[in-house]
Amino acid sequence: MFNALIGQAPNFEAMLRSAKMVAATDVTVLIYGETGTGKELLANALQSQGPRARKPYITLNCAALPESLVESELFGHRRGAFTGAVANQTGRLQAADGGTLFMDEADSLPLPVQAKLLRFLETGDIQPVGDSPPFRVDVRIIAATNVNLEEKIAKGEFRKDLYYRLNVVPLEIPPLRERMGDIQLLLNHFLRHFATAHKQPQPTLSNRTLARFLDYGWPGNVRELRNVCERLCILLAGRHIEEEELPEDIARTTVQWGEFILPDEGVELEQLEIGLIQQALDRTHDNRSRAARLLGITRDTLLYRMQKYNMR
Ligand SMILES: Nc1ncnc2c1ncn2[C@@H]1O[C@H](COP(=O)(O)OP(=O)(O)OP(=O)(O)O)[C@@H](O)[C@H]1O
Ligand SMILES: [Mg+2]
């Protein structure tokens, strides 16, 4: 359902408008978005609002399988086609016949499988691994990726012709930091949702706390925001949350990004790093775990850098 996709920012709404138009068709769709932006949610909406809503909906996460298995998962195999192929197996394309196949993380398809997929997209024919004649299936493909496929093409890791064939209608979900207006909307939604789900009084946010949420870069996008909300609903149920009360790791991650402005005369990056590490150690009385947290790195990384700079 498109209702499940919360967001009113102009760039998000524009994407949704295109999505609603393509949902009514059988056209191949390529969804692009950073991790946690809602690609799977969008794919589900496209399927459930389209003409194939009541038909099979099969998912294949192309990155979750070893390369050697992707082809047979997708196209099926004949008994004896390779060691371990003890019986005929139906591929996901065949299982999706009449319906939709959602190919998640499509960027990780091995090149030979990309060639075979392209053939399917062009002819509608699939050929199971092993000795068997090709046959026709009727499947609508929705593919998703969080990788810049043009860069992969430039490196020779993704076929240009397949890219164009998949990219008939591209849907790009903007990252959260590019639709800041939606942060508050999502916060309200998730705080209410998790307070209800966990039967806790809903927490509220002070203006300064809210400002931190708006400043943050949200590398994990909506998924990260959602998880933070669930945590707040449990740890700070019913509270008016001040900035200082944010759990330590949230406070740590909600550092202001891009605050430091490179001076015209430049900096000595290594000296700057040594200085920051020293300050973090001083401030935490040499507690290396806490110093690492202040710097937003792991303890191991901190130790590695201290060693690199011969610091104690
Ligand atoms: N616009 C949105 N409104 C409400 N919930 C959302 C929205 N976008 C994402 N979510 C929620 O965020 C979480 C992550 O979404 P989803 O799994 O679809 O992301 P993804 O882009 O597929 O991530 P990944 O690249 O890591 O697989 C899910 O719980 C999903 O329901
Ligand atoms: Mg996903």
Enumerate the domain spans of the chain: 2-174, 177-253, 269-308
Indicate the pLDDT class of residue 244, thresholds 50, 70 and 90.
confident
On the CB side of 37, CA atoms within 13 Å amount to: 23
CA distances from 308 to 136, 171, 312 (A): 60, 44, 10
Q: Report pTM.
A: 0.81
In the chain, the percentage of residues whose pLDDT exceeds 70 is 95
Ligand 2 mean position to 40 CA, how many Å?
5
- Beta carbons within 8 Å of 83's beta carbon, 6+ residues apart: none
2-174: CATH number? 3.40.50.300
Q: What is the mean pLDDT of the chain?
A: 91
Ligand 1 neighbour 226 (Cβ under 6 A)? yes
pLDDT bracket for residue 249 (50, 70, 90): low
For atom 10 of ligand 1, which residue has the closest CA?
Answer: 38
Phi/psi of residue 114, nearest 5 degrees: -60, -40
Q: What is the position in ligand 1's atom list of the atom closest to the CA of 144?
A: 22
- Among 34, 40, 193, the mutation site with the greatest number of ligand 1 atoms within 8 A of its Cβ is 40
* Shortest-distance ligand to the CA of residue 33: 1
On the question of pLDDT at 254 being above 70, the answer is no
For residue 240, list its beta bridge partners: 204
Confidence band, pLDDT 50/70/90 cuts, at residue 252: low
Q: Which CATH class is domain 269-308?
A: mainly alpha
Q: Are 204 and 195 in contact (CB under 8 A)?
A: no
The pLDDT of residue 93 is above 90: yes
Angle at CA 307, nearest 5°, toward 305 and 311?
A: 95
Indicate left, alpha or beta for 105 from its phi (over 0: left) and psi (-120 to 50: alpha).
Answer: left
Task: Output the six-digit token pair for 300.
Answer: 């191991």
Report pLDDT digits (tens) over 15-64: 999 999 999 999 999 999 999 999 999 999 999 999 999 999 999 999 99
Classify burial at 216, counting beta carbons within 10 Å of its beta carbon; exposed 0-12, middle 13-18, buried 19 or more: buried
Provide the pLDDT confidence category of residue 255 given band limits of 50, 70 and 90: very low
First to last CA, the chain: 57
Q: Which ligand is nearest to the CA of 44?
A: 1
**Residues within 5 A (CB) of ion ligand 2:** 39-40
Determine the CATH number of domain 177-253: 1.10.8.60
Report which of residues 219 and 36 the model is more confident about. 36
Q: How far is CA 190 from the centre of its chain?
A: 18
pLDDT at 283 over 90: no
> Are both 2-174 and 269-308 of the same fold?
no
How many Å lie between the centroid of ligand 1 and the Cα of residue 214?
A: 19
Residue 168 carries which side chain, given as an amino acid letter? V
CA dist 148 and 219 (Å) reads 16
Res 265: pLDDT: 81
Q: Say yes or no to pLDDT of 89 above 60.
A: yes
Residue 168: pLDDT over 80 = yes
Q: Which residues, 6+ apart, have CB-to-CB distance to 37 below 8 Å? A: 146, 173, 174, 175, 176, 221, 222
